[in-house]
Structure 1
Amino acid sequence: MPRPTILTVDDDEPVSAALARDLRTRYGKEFRIIRATSGQEALDILTELALRTRPVALIVTDQRMPGMTGIELLAEAGSKAPGAKNLLMTAYADTDVAIAAINDVGLDHYLLKPWDPPTERLYPVVDDLLDDWRAENPDAEVDVRVVGHRWSERTYEVKTFLARNHVPYLWLDVEVDEEGRRLAGLAGAGPDDLPVVLVPDTDPMVSPSTVDLADRLGLRTHAEQPLYDLCIVGAGPAGLAAAVYAASEGLQVVVVEREAPGGQAGRSASIENYLGFPRGLSGADLTHRAIAQARRFGAELVLARDVVGFEQRGPVRAVLMAGGDEIEARAVLVATGVSYRKLEADGLETLTGRGVYYGADASDAAQVRDEVVFIVGAANSAGQAALNLAQHAKQVVMVVRGKSLEASMSQYLVDRILAAPTISVRYETQVAAACGEGHLELITLEHSDGTREDVPATWMFVFIGASPRTDWLGDAIVRDRAGYVVTGQEIAWHDGAGSAHWVLSRSPYPLEASVTGVFAAGDVRLDSMKRVASAVGEGAMAVHLVHRYLATV
């Protein structure tokens, strides 16, 4: 594959040469650095690169240039290098124009000139942009291949696991790909055995478990240390934030995640109200950055392991996993978040994974191209999914029990949904039943007046509220009736049960559960805000409280 291009555009020759020199110094081994001194010259270069199918990773352009401004150039460049990231170099007086360009031309970042020293001002920005470009443009030669069909529940689970763990793969559908049928036959896999996962230099894996797949891919599935300072259960925003802060402060930390890092936030196509990202960022991007940060400080991440129990062993807390493994730590943070509740409607259970899905990943959008998609729910997650899927689907229909979206969804999402021509909203409506031979084919909608309507459907994504999975904690940890962990001062009076559990003379710390040394953060905690920013804040706060606790034992 030819080296991707970084194109710089500046009409000031000394400035252009200096920028190209700084970029070549850091990125020259991986990328071609090409200079242009005008917008038109840059467009000519992009046209030639497109004709030669040469990838363009980044366009760095000055704003004030004669004939064509940097923003005008980027608007034209979008059709010639649609996947390229863009960076606008501008003066302080032009910052309002640059901010407007975030919406007008999809500007990724702007940087005030001068950029000296580049190690502090230029390289960190370019590093992030190129990391994003690499994630969106994996090498053409992908090692892992997944053979299956789109209505296989296990196939969907495997593809989701790979995507959320940033493992690039080639998808071969046996219904349309002759090569897929050939490989399935060679592996001895019938229709009920799919998927087949092929990893170089190993035997084919037929309908592998998540743990076996993770092991084969070299992902860590076992803890390395006999005892940790802190075991974090759950790798959503709260768990990853706690891992970063705890590891950076010298604690030995392990994070256990049963599916893939990121939690529900990691599945979001765009998080637009998170501080510091005016264009928003995807949940996968936020997760990828957080994992890299946690690992940089030395935190361990154990994947694809389901936690099934908890024990107190004197000053040690033990987390028990399916398969018999366990992790011992001096303190435990419960950050398991929540899962979408199951929709109670006739016929849905047998169609789960075969057209009916709970939640949606950003990667799901491509497979619903030119089809009609139903989304059940009216929270922010449902709104974000609707906007993402609408980029590819022929039509997105939101099924909402209430009379409006405003009661449960942020206004910026409501405005975009109501303005989207390919999204319609069915108010005061719910799904009463579903049916299909082998996959979803028809759903029954029930309206508030009791009337019912049968509509064809092959894709339905459900977002109808959430519930925590905390049964593994046992009776020692006080929870409310829905399963949320009770923490802090509320333990003493909650349902009259807390006083029987709390035995110390001191009051529990704000995020501490009814067992000393066990803390909860994020959506799993009773009365949490259910927002990414608050989960990150609670994860950081929990580490401060863990330090206080460890100092006393």
Structure 2
Amino acid sequence: MEKPVILAVDDEPSVLAAVVRDLRRRYGGEYRVMRAASGAEALEALRELRLRNEVVALLVVDQRMPGMTGVALLAEALDVFPDARRVLLTAYADTDAAIKAINEVKLHHYLMKPWHPPEEQLYPVLDDLLDDWRANFQPVFEGVRVIGHRWSADGHRIRDFLARNLIAYQWLDIETDAEATELREIAGAAQQPLPLVVLADGTTLSQPSVATLAERLGLHTQAQWETYDLIIVGAGPAGLAAAVYGASEGLRTLLIEREAPGGQAGTSSSIENYLGFPAGLSGSDLARRAVAQARRFGTEILAPMEATGFSSSNGYHLIHLSNGSTVATQALLIATGVQYRLLDVAGAERLAGAGLFYGAAITEALNVKGQDVFIVGGGNSAGQAALYLSHYASSVTLLVRGAGLADTMSQYLIARIEEAESIHLRPHVSVAEVHGEESLEAISLRDARTGELERVPARALFVFIGAAPRTGWLNGAVQADEQGFILSGLDIERDGGKRSRGWTVPRDPFWLETSIPGVFVAGDLRHRSTKRIASAVGEGAMAVQFVHQHLRAPMHASPPEPASGAQAKQPAEAHP
């Protein structure tokens, strides 16, 4: 395949030459940098590239051009190469046009001319945009292929795992894709149970577990050390922020995630109210950026890997992992967040993953194309899912117990839902039962005012009905409220004016510290936390400052002996 194209467009020859020079100096090794001196010339070039089945990664277009403005050109280019990243070159007076273009042509960025030096003003922006483009574009597919039945729960489990871990894959429906049957036969797996995973090297896995698939894909599932300065359990926004700040400030940091980086936020199809992203971004984009930052500073990430137990000994905290190993730390941050509550109605357990989904709107969007789908819940996650699915489904119906959305959803989402013709709201209803043998076929709705039941056809039901804290692995070791959210700081209960027996240091707990010294909590799991991504990120960053204060305190302890059968290896060199 030819190199992806970067197209620069400007009607001033000297400016165009300078832009092309800067682009080729940085990106000439991986991309073919082309130029055009007008909007018409650029459109002609784009159409020729499309006919030759070449791809365009980036458009860098001047706004002030005779005959066709930059915004007008980008509007035309959107139809030809919708996945290309779009950058508008502007003068100071063009700022309003650039901001307007964010909505009109889905502009990714605008740059003021001139820029100097490009290493500070140009390349960081374009590097980020090209990283985004590469993360979402697969011109020639050479990755993982998954063959299975459309409504298979096992197939959904594997697709969701791959998608949330940002592993490119191709889904082939055995019932509708001729390639699926052919590939299955070529692989000699015609009689093997589905789903069948075909790896890039041609080997196959029949109904693999997530752990087996992760190992075969080369994901990091063995800790490098036995002891760390900081261990973070949970790679949602809070955990990822703590990993970035902890590792960047010199702490040997281990991040443990049971499913995929990003946590519940990572499943969001669109985050539009996060500071610094006026055009919004998806949860997977946010997770990818944060993981790249954390790794850049030296964070070690184990995923997928589940913390299954916890204990403290002599000032150290031990985390027992699902692979049988144990790791230890003087400072632990609990950031395991929350999980969607399960739908407690007849048929729900049987049909989970087979038409009934908890979250997973991004994973299943293509499978509901042309279908009428239902969403249970009235929070922001439900609203974001409704807007995303409305681009694929024939109709989306929001089912809420209350009278409306005003008390549970952000106003900007409500406004967009009201504008969407394919999204409908049904208040005062709840799901009473789900029906279907091998996949979801219908749901029964109960009217809260009359008690009447109504059965309606349904092929997909997405559930967002509140969240329960993930604390089972702690075995009650830290204090929590009645709902299971972890207490910290001044919220920790006292016994007769004194701290509980687990509190062994002569100071009060820090604000994000739990009832055990050196064990901290951040994010949605914390008692009375603000359930917003920005708040979780702030708490994760703040927790690292308390970790430093804890580690600076005198310690009269030595690391515990590794648990019997521990698989983590100890490198020869000691950590300074």
TM interval, short-chain normalised: over 0.9
Query: 1:475: how far off?
Result: 2.7
Which residue pairs with 1:2 in the alignment? 2
Classify the secondary structure of the residue corresponding to 1:305. coil
Alignment of 1:483 with 2:484, yes or no, is yes
Which residue pairs with 2:524 in the alignment? 523
Query: 1:389: how far off?
Result: 0.6
CA distance in 2, matches of 1:497, 1:303: 40
1:332, 1:517 within 8 Å by CA — same for their partners in 2?
Answer: yes
Which residue pairs with 1:468 in the alignment? 469
Which residue pairs with 1:146 in the alignment? 146
CA distance in 1, matches of 2:253, 2:301: 9
Alignment of 1:290 with 2:290, yes or no, is yes
CA distance in 2, matches of 1:225, 1:161: 26
Which residue pairs with 1:447 in the alignment? 447
Which residue pairs with 1:37 in the alignment? 37
AA of the residue aligned to 2:107: L
Aligned sequence identity (%): 53
Any residues of structure 2 matched to 1:155-174 within 5 Å, and which?
155-174=155-174
CA distance in 2, matches of 1:322, 1:408: 36
Query: 1:170: how far off?
Result: 2.0
Alignment of 1:550 with 2:547, yes or no, is no
Query: 1:360: how far off?
Result: 2.1
AA of the residue aligned to 1:374: F
2:226, 2:326 within 8 Å by CA — same for their partners in 1?
Answer: no
AA of the residue aligned to 2:53: T
CA distance in 2, matches of 1:109, 1:122: 11
Q: Relative to 1, partners in 2 of residues 1:407 and 1:187: Cα closer, same or farther, differing over 3 Å?
A: farther
AA of the residue aligned to 1:509: F
Query: 1:517: how far off?
Result: 0.7
Query: 1:71: how far off?
Result: 0.9
Query: 1:368: how far off?
Result: 1.1
Cα deviations by residue, 1:73-123 (Å, 9 ceiling, x for unpaired): 111111121111100110112112211111122111111111111110100
Classify the secondary structure of the residue corresponding to 1:386. helix
CA distance in 1, matches of 2:286, 2:156: 23
Alignment of 1:514 with 2:515, yes or no, is yes
2:333, 2:521 within 8 Å by CA — same for their partners in 1?
Answer: yes
Classify the secondary structure of the residue corresponding to 1:413. helix
Which residue pairs with 1:360 in the alignment? 360
Which residue pairs with 1:418 in the alignment? 418
The answer to which of 349-358 and 446-455 deviates more is 446-455
CA distance in 2, matches of 1:17, 1:179: 47
Which residue pairs with 2:196 in the alignment? 196
AA of the residue aligned to 1:464: I
Query: 1:476: how far off?
Result: 2.3
Which residue pairs with 1:79 in the alignment? 79
Query: 1:47: how far off?
Result: 1.5
Classify the secondary structure of the residue corresponding to 2:93. helix
Cα deviations by residue, 1:444-486 (Å, 9 ceiling, x for unpaired): 0111221111100010000000011102112321111211111
The answer to which of 363-372 and 449-458 deviates more is 363-372
Classify the secondary structure of the residue corresponding to 2:288. helix
Task: Provide runs of 4+ in structure 1 moved above 3 Å.
Answer: 181-191, 200-203, 493-501
Classify the secondary structure of the residue corresponding to 1:393. coil
CA distance in 1, matches of 2:307, 2:492: 24
Which residue pairs with 1:400 in the alignment? 400
Classify the secondary structure of the residue corresponding to 1:330. strand
Classify the secondary structure of the residue corresponding to 2:328. strand
Q: Relative to 1, partners in 2 of residues 1:203 and 1:41: Cα closer, same or farther, differing over 3 Å?
A: closer
Any residues of structure 2 matched to 1:42-81 within 5 Å, and which?
42-81=42-81
Cα deviations by residue, 1:30-87 (Å, 9 ceiling, x for unpaired): 1111111111111111111122221111111111111111111111111121111100
Q: Relative to 1, partners in 2 of residues 1:194 and 1:72: Cα closer, same or farther, differing over 3 Å?
A: same
Classify the secondary structure of the residue corresponding to 2:50. helix
CA distance in 2, matches of 1:511, 1:70: 49
Which residue pairs with 2:14 in the alignment? 14
Classify the secondary structure of the residue corresponding to 1:86. strand
CA distance in 2, matches of 1:358, 1:510: 33
Which residue pairs with 1:222 in the alignment? 222
Any residues of structure 2 matched to 1:84-103 within 5 Å, and which?
84-103=84-103
Query: 1:203: how far off?
Result: 4.2
Question: If the length of structure 1 is used for normalisation, what is the TM-score?
Answer: 0.97
CA distance in 1, matches of 2:278, 2:376: 28
AA of the residue aligned to 1:486: L
Query: 1:307: how far off?
Result: 1.1
Query: 1:179: how far off?
Result: 3.8
Which residue pairs with 2:177 in the alignment? 177
Q: Relative to 1, partners in 2 of residues 1:343 and 1:394: Cα closer, same or farther, differing over 3 Å?
A: same
CA distance in 2, matches of 1:145, 1:496: 61
Query: 1:273: how far off?
Result: 0.6
Q: Relative to 1, partners in 2 of residues 1:160 and 1:497: Cα closer, same or farther, differing over 3 Å?
A: farther
CA distance in 2, matches of 1:493, 1:414: 43
Which residue pairs with 2:572 in the alignment? none
1:236, 1:266 within 8 Å by CA — same for their partners in 2?
Answer: yes
Cα deviations by residue, 1:11-44 (Å, 9 ceiling, x for unpaired): 1110000000100111111111111111111111
Query: 1:297: how far off?
Result: 0.5
Which residue pairs with 1:23 in the alignment? 23
Alignment of 1:432 with 2:403, yes or no, is no
CA distance in 1, matches of 2:492, 2:27: 55
CA distance in 2, matches of 1:303, 1:131: 22
Which residue pairs with 2:112 in the alignment? 112
Query: 1:258: how far off?
Result: 0.6
CA distance in 2, matches of 1:358, 1:497: 43
CA distance in 2, matches of 1:362, 1:9: 34
Q: Relative to 1, partners in 2 of residues 1:202 and 1:34: Cα closer, same or farther, differing over 3 Å?
A: closer
CA distance in 1, matches of 2:122, 2:116: 8
Aligned residues: 552
Classify the secondary structure of the residue corresponding to 1:102. helix
Which residue pairs with 2:314 in the alignment? 314
Q: Relative to 1, partners in 2 of residues 1:176 and 1:494: Cα closer, same or farther, differing over 3 Å?
A: farther
CA distance in 1, matches of 2:416, 2:127: 31
1:187, 1:204 within 8 Å by CA — same for their partners in 2?
Answer: no
Classify the secondary structure of the residue corresponding to 2:538. helix
Cα deviations by residue, 1:360-389 (Å, 9 ceiling, x for unpaired): 242322221111111000100000000001
Query: 1:204: how far off?
Result: 2.0
Classify the secondary structure of the residue corresponding to 1:524. coil
2:500, 2:515 within 8 Å by CA — same for their partners in 1?
Answer: no
CA distance in 1, matches of 2:495, 2:82: 55
AA of the residue aligned to 1:19: V
CA distance in 1, matches of 2:376, 2:316: 44
The answer to which of 276-285 and 174-183 deviates more is 174-183
1:189, 1:196 within 8 Å by CA — same for their partners in 2?
Answer: no
AA of the residue aligned to 2:484: G
1:189, 1:206 within 8 Å by CA — same for their partners in 2?
Answer: no
CA distance in 2, matches of 1:402, 1:495: 43
CA distance in 1, matches of 2:230, 2:273: 30
CA distance in 2, matches of 1:49, 1:239: 43
The answer to which of 540-549 and 35-44 deviates more is 35-44
Q: Relative to 1, partners in 2 of residues 1:274 and 1:433: Cα closer, same or farther, differing over 3 Å?
A: same
2:435, 2:441 within 8 Å by CA — same for their partners in 1?
Answer: yes
Which residue pairs with 2:380 in the alignment? 380
Which residue pairs with 1:263 in the alignment? 263
The answer to which of 494-503 and 465-474 deviates more is 494-503
1:187, 1:196 within 8 Å by CA — same for their partners in 2?
Answer: no
Which residue pairs with 2:564 in the alignment? none
| RMSD between aligned residues | 1.7
Query: 1:180: how far off?
Result: 2.5
